[in-house]
Amino acid sequence: MPTLSVIIPCYFNEANIPVTARELVANEQSFPAGVQFEYVFVNDGSADDTLGALRRAQAQYPGRIRIVDLAANVGSYNAIVAGMAHATGSCMAVITADMQDPPELMVQMYDYWLKGFKLVIGNRQDREETGLSQVLAQAFHWLMKRLALRNIPDGGFDFVFFDRHVADEVLKLHERNSNVFYLMVWLGFAYVNIPYTRRKREIGKSRWTLSKKIKLLIDSLLAFSFVPVRAISVAGLSLGLVALLYGFYIIGLKLFSPAEPAGWTTLMVVLLFVSAFQMVALGVIGEYVWRGLDAIRARPLYVVKDVYEK
């Protein structure tokens, strides 16, 4: 029977760990007899006692938990890549440490994997979250589907079940400033989409801040879409056409109405508009250039401080 490696990135999850470990171990009873389980908890540079909580859980459930302790906080996606590199299972799953995603869904995902699907996606169809967080999340996934990856499911996802082959291909890419879940879809494997309602977080406070969400949007768009650069080209050509037409207009005024006022207000508005466009264009191009430089440096995505074996 295969081994299932469950990867759980952890960041300030000290209070969550006892509940998470208990629910994951209890969920084993729903799987067919003989399936082996491995839980790879990745401590993403947490400043609280997340590592201590993981060590206590490891002692409570011997033989099941491997802990990858990173030297610094590198973000959940890089932490997931670290978990993939240290997982040994023939199939893997990624789930959050706050138990907002239902672990019981992994049983259905496992069944699809047995049928030959290398990627199974748990797709959030509804959220218990409301207000600005919900609006921002919906806008993010709408933009990504229209501008970058048209084959991603609606509603977004960060709960996945995948084959070892998928993990190996992702690890080969060494992608920086990207989205590991979108990379799995980008690889092109046929996937199954399972809808579910995400739970509201019961323990602790989310560290998924607005600035991190904005960075994720920029990283994801630039990693999977040429739309920002293409938009600059289209806007530049459009402004050039407008400038040409305006030039003809000015020449006409000079020839047929020499007494017309100089039009400093119009000139300044046009100048400021074009200058603003140039600054935005330089900013977008700079984002692409910086990401190219970051990739060329080939610095590691993460540094492992220690690994605590099962």
In 3D space, the residue among 85, 83, 46 whose CA is nearest the CA of residue 65 turns out to be 83
Query: Which residue would you say has higher pLDDT here, 286 or 169?
Result: 169
**Per mean pLDDT, which range of 36-45, 146-155, 179-188, 198-207 is the poorest?**
198-207
Which band of pLDDT confidence, cut at 50, 70 and 90, is reported for residue 191?
Answer: very high
Check pLDDT > 60 for residue 62.
yes
pLDDT, averaged across the chain: 83
The two structure tokens encoding residue 310? 């099962």
Average pLDDT for residues 256-262, to the nearest whole number? 63
pTM metric for this prediction: 0.77
Phi, psi of 76 (to 5 degrees): -65, -35
pLDDT score, position 43: 96
Query: Cα–Cα distance between 122 and 178 in angstroms, integer?
Result: 20
Pairing of strands 159-163, 91-94: antiparallel
In terms of CATH architecture, what is 3-208+302-308?
Alpha-Beta Complex (3.90)
Extents of the domains making up the chain: 3-208+302-308, 227-297
